[in-house]
Amino acid sequence: MVRSIVDCLWRGIDDDLPALLMAIITAMISVDVFLRDAAGAHIPNGVEIATYAFVWSVFLGAAGASRRGDHFHVDLVQNSLSGRPRVISFVLVDAFCCVVAAMMTVSSWQYTMRSWRRVSEGLEMPLGYFYMVFPIAFALMALAHGCHAYRNIFRRNSP
């Protein structure tokens, strides 16, 4: 029960939210172009909003790719291996990616915390709101790679 709730939330964050953001970006830019051409008007700060939404969709999408096991692969080496060496290579790659993502989580958290004193140019909001996606996405990536390594070590859904 708890696992299905967590899976649903996780998929919503790193699959559904990026898709929703891309739909919003597409609609907003299309309306902005139409308004510019037809009425000589525009959506105030539309480009800035679309840029931040795009960054959010890319980083959350990367977290989703990590969860699905599609983000970091060394297929050339891993496909030529079988049995225990193959499992060990998967564990090593996922463990390495987990460590890198964890280090990026810490670094991006520190960067985001420093960004609260700066404001965005058009929206005049603290940049921390927009940069918060970095530690969130890297933490999700670290968690995903850690889970993959754990599953491979204990032979649950091994590759």
d(CA 12, CA 95): 25
Tracing tokens 């030529």 back to the chain, one arrives at 80
Neighbours of 23 (CB within 10 A): 11
Summarize pLDDT for 36-69 with one digit per residue, the tens: 889 888 889 988 999 999 999 999 988 888 888 7
Whole-prediction pTM: 0.83
Is residue 123 pLDDT above 80, yes or no? yes
d(CA 44, CA 153): 52
Summarize pLDDT for 98-113 with one digit per residue, the tens: 999 999 999 999 999 9
Domain ranges (residues) in the chain: 2-153
Tracing tokens 């959506």 back to the chain, one arrives at 43
Query: Residue 10 has which token pair?
Result: 């996780």
d(CA 89, CA 76): 11
Mean pLDDT of the chain, nearest integer = 86
6-10, 50-54, 139-143: segment of lowest average pLDDT: 6-10
Q: Return the ∠ at Cα 81 (arms to 104 and 62), rounded to 5°.
A: 25
Tracing tokens 């989580």 back to the chain, one arrives at 105
Report yes or no: 93 and 76 within 8 Å, Cβ to Cβ.
no
Tracing tokens 């590759």 back to the chain, one arrives at 159
Q: What is the pLDDT of residue 102?
A: 97
